[in-house]
Amino acid sequence: QVRLVESGGGLVQAGGSLRLSCAASEHTLGTLTVGWFRQDPGKGRRFVASISWSGDRLTYADSVKGRFTISRDNTKNTVSLQMNSLKPEDTANYYCAATRVDIATSVEHYDYWGQGTQVTVSS
């Protein structure tokens, strides 16, 4: 079983930055596609970004393009989401997820999920 743990959430003012990290235990994230999703009350879980297991192909939701960057650190066995120019509408609980599907942008494609980390952006 792949176990994922998110970290790095917190409170930040609009325009600021946060870096989220997704760590895996007993599995090598470099062999998996990893995605980030976010969810706030009443809006469901929405795709944010993903990095594929084959070729590290990057996919971003339109709402975060140019502001968020997903990357791997294989030395630390983590996948990070660098979030810049944060807006209040970015406020959500952020989840990392993993799948063996090469390119995946839907929650249905993902098999393993972390518990989430809260990001709150104040104006």
In this prediction, residue 36 carries a pLDDT of 98
Is 80 exceeded by the pLDDT of residue 2?
A: yes
- Of residues 67, 71, 89, the one with CA closest to residue 79: 71
Cβ distance 96 to 34 under 8 Å?
yes
At 53, is the secondary structure helix, strand, or coil?
Answer: coil
Is 80 exceeded by the pLDDT of residue 91?
A: yes
Is 80 exceeded by the pLDDT of residue 66?
A: yes
- The model's confidence at residue 33, banded by pLDDT at 50, 70 and 90, is very high
Is 80 exceeded by the pLDDT of residue 49?
A: yes
Cβ distance 97 to 38 under 8 Å?
no
In this prediction, residue 107 carries a pLDDT of 96
| Cα 117 to Cα 39: distance, rounded to the nearest angstrom | 10
Is 90 exceeded by the pLDDT of residue 42?
A: no
- Of residues 74, 6, 75, 66, the one with CA closest to residue 36: 6
Percent of the chain whose predicted confidence (pLDDT) is above 90:
86
- The model's confidence at residue 26, banded by pLDDT at 50, 70 and 90, is confident
In this prediction, residue 3 carries a pLDDT of 92
- The model's confidence at residue 1, banded by pLDDT at 50, 70 and 90, is confident
- Per DSSP bridges, beta strands 117-122 and 10-13 are parallel
Strand partners, 95: 37
| Cα 51 to Cα 30: distance, rounded to the nearest angstrom | 10
